[in-house]
Chain A
Amino acid sequence: MNAQAGLPSAYRAQSRRPRSRAWRSPISTHDADPLRPLLAQCALGNRQAFETLYRSVSPRLHGVAYRFMGRSDLAEEVLQEAFVRIWYNASRYEAHLAAPMTWMVNITRNLAIDQLRKHREQPLADGQQDALLDDSPGAHEQLDNEREARALNRCLDTLDGMQRQSITVAYFQGLSCSELADHLAAPLGSVKSWIRRGMERLRRCLES
């Protein structure tokens, strides 16, 4: 497809990942992010732009969906739903609040978490349950692999182990505080305080 080929290759290097620019650098609406005009075109009903957007970001959002769901079929369902939502909500994208990739990752994550919660409410067959729980050590290993010079990871490194783990597990599993306490086999009070203090420290670090 021509439109896809025409996407600046710099895009991959520059904006494939949501950069951690929280607090320190306000998001500029004049950002050269090539996803921005694509989203704007989607808001106008341009299907060609939507397909280009899909070809550009679906592998990455699929990775995100899979990280949450832990199963190919569930991840594909979430990915499909996410793109339907991106198409219909493109006009509600607020450029000053989030980078396009952050916005799309959030949509994917919210749908994934909805699904995870639904599955938790309707217990799955044993094998499926294992598959879902299987990703808790993954969260930990993931974090070890993420020690790159990214602001968030730098800041996460400054947290205590349990602060870091509770935030990461909560983020990737969409657990409530009490579910998190069960999951980590820790008292509810402790979990709340890990999260609260962890987030405060994270914020101070990101602001610095």
Chain B
Amino acid sequence: MNYQTTALRRALAADYAIGLMPATARRRFDALLLEDPVLRVELGHWQAALASLTGTLPERPVPDHVWAGIKARVEPQVLHMPAKKPFWMSFRVLAAACAVVVAVLVGVLYQRDIGAEYNATLVAANQQPALQVQAFGDHLQVEPLTLAAVEPTRALELWAIAAGGKPVSLGLVPSSGKGRIQLSQEQQALLAGPVTLAVSLEPQGGSPTGQPTGPVLYQGALASR
């Protein structure tokens, strides 16, 4: 249908204003109105003219309950909490208590087990992971993965090498492989920066010179978690 014909547009606006249109035609016209400001003005004229049909209707007093009904619909709903609901309340308290307990437990476990600040996986020359090192505040936790067997007269010594610096001994890897290495203040400070960890083969008791004397078996970078 050609909606651009003036006569037709007028007639349609009139029909719409009176309310003669069936639902489908009304929806189509609604769509037209959205994109046609001139049509909206035309319709506005009709609606104003027809609304004056109601101009001489007598006013009617309105009972109070109508305003109460309107207020209930337009005012934001206040969340209504029943004054007493023992079961529900106790459940809420219990739930809150459980949440606190869980939070504390998680905090403790985190501190204990997965609270490592840094870790490193040291690998052999063939890139085989050999030793897992976790750094905590004042100690290292080492765990062998595929550590080579060492003669009783030898020891594995762990070194930290800062970029451009000399290796600093962190101590001997426990003979069982798994264990804890206590760190001094200086060692802790060293590990705060980017360092490479290395393990060298040394005489029993560790390097006599303070620097690695044997071959470096494993190494890897210490990364923050």
Point out the residue from A22, A47, A153 that lies within 8 Å of B48, measured CB to CB: A22
A11 in contact (CB, < 8 A): no
Q: Is the CB of A171 within 8 A of B19?
A: yes
26 contacts between A and B (CB under 8 A): A17-B56, A18-B52, A18-B55, A20-B52, A47-B75, A54-B70, A59-B60, A60-B57, A63-B54, A63-B57, A76-B65, A84-B73, A113-B19, A145-B56, A146-B53, A146-B55, A151-B49, A170-B18, A170-B20, A175-B19, A176-B20, A180-B20, A195-B15, A199-B11, A203-B14, A206-B49
What separation, in Å, do the CA atoms of A75 and B19 have in the docked complex?
Answer: 19
Interface residues of A in 44-85 (CB under 8 A from B): 47, 50-51, 54, 58-60, 62-64, 66-67, 75-76, 79-80, 83-84
Count chain B residues whose beta carbon lies closer than 8 angstroms to a beta carbon of A. 40
- A62 to B64 CA separation, bound complex (whole angstroms): 13
Give the CA-CA distance A142 to B41 in the complex, in Å.
Answer: 28
Interface size class of A (residues with CB under 8 A): 35 or more
The dominant DSSP class at the B interface is: helix
Give the secondary structure class of A's interface.
helix
Given that A76-B63, A113-B19, A167-B18 are contacting pairs, would A21 and B48 also be in contact in the complex, using a CB cutoff of 8 Å? yes
Q: What CA separation (Å) do A146 and B54 show in the bound complex?
A: 9
Q: Knowing A20-B52, A171-B18, A199-B14 touch, does A47 contact B61 (C-beta < 8 A)?
A: no
Contacts of B48 in A (CB 8 A): 18, 20-22, 27, 98-99, 102
Once bound together, how far apart are the Cα atoms of A101 and B54, in whole Å?
11
Question: Cβ of A203 and Cβ of B10 under 8 Å apart?
Answer: yes
Q: Please state if A150 and B52 are interface contacts (CB–CB under 8 Å).
A: yes
Known: A59-B61, A63-B60. A152 touches B67 (CB 8 A): no
Query: Taking the nearest CB of chain A, how far is it from the CB of B213, in angstroms?
Result: 81
Most B CB within 10 A of own CB, among A18, A51, A145 = A18
Query: Which residues of A164-193 are within 8 A (CB) of B?
Result: 167-168, 170-172, 174-177, 180
A118 to B26, CA, bound (A): 16
Asked if B62 and A64 make an inter-chain contact with CB atoms under 8 angstroms apart, the answer reads no
Which of B11, B47, B62 touches A102 (beta carbons < 8 Å)? B47
Residue pair A47, B74 in contact (C-beta under 8 Å): yes
Closest to A80 in B: B69
- Residues of chain B within 8 A of A66, CB atoms compared: 60
A151 to B53, CA, bound (A): 10
The minimal Cβ–Cβ distance linking B221 to chain A, given in whole angstroms, is 60
Q: Which of A18, A84, A177, A206 contacts B20 (CB 8 A)?
A: A177
Which residues from A are CB-within-8-Å of B56?
A: 17, 142, 145-146, 148, 150
Q: Which A residue's beta carbon lies closest to that of B67?
A: A54
Write the chain A residue with the least CB distance to B25.
A176
- A59-B59, A174-B19, A199-B14 given as contacts; is B49 within 8 A of A22 (CB)? yes
Residue on B with the closest CB to A42? B74
In the complex, chain B residues whose CB is within 8 Å of the CB of A206: 45, 49
Closest to B56 in A: A146
The answer on a CB contact under 8 Å between A50 and B66 is no
Q: Which residue of chain B is the closest to A75 with respect to CB atoms?
A: B60
Pairwise interchain contact A105-B54, C-beta atoms closer than 8 A: yes
CB under 8 Å from chain B, chain A span 1-53: 17-23, 27, 47, 50-51
Complex: A176 Cα to B18 Cα, angstroms? 10
A47-B75, A79-B66, A171-B19 given; A67·B57 CB < 8 A:
yes
Q: Are A64 and B20 in contact (CB under 8 A)?
A: no
Q: Smallest CB–CB gap between B123 and chain A, Å? A: 66
Q: A111 at interface (Cβ–Cβ under 8 A)? A: no
Q: Are A80 and B66 within 8 A (Cβ)?
A: yes
Q: Are B52 and A151 in touch, CB under 8 angstroms? A: yes
Closest to A59 in B: B59
The answer to whether A19 touches B19, judged by C-beta atoms less than 8 angstroms apart, is: no
CB-CB under 8 A from B57, the residues of chain A are: 60, 63-64, 67, 142
Q: Does B136 touch A at the CB level, under 8 Å?
A: no
Is B9 at the interface (CB under 8 A from chain A)?
A: no
Contact A152 B49 (CB under 8 A): yes
How many Å lie between the Cα of A174 and that of B59 in the bound state? 21
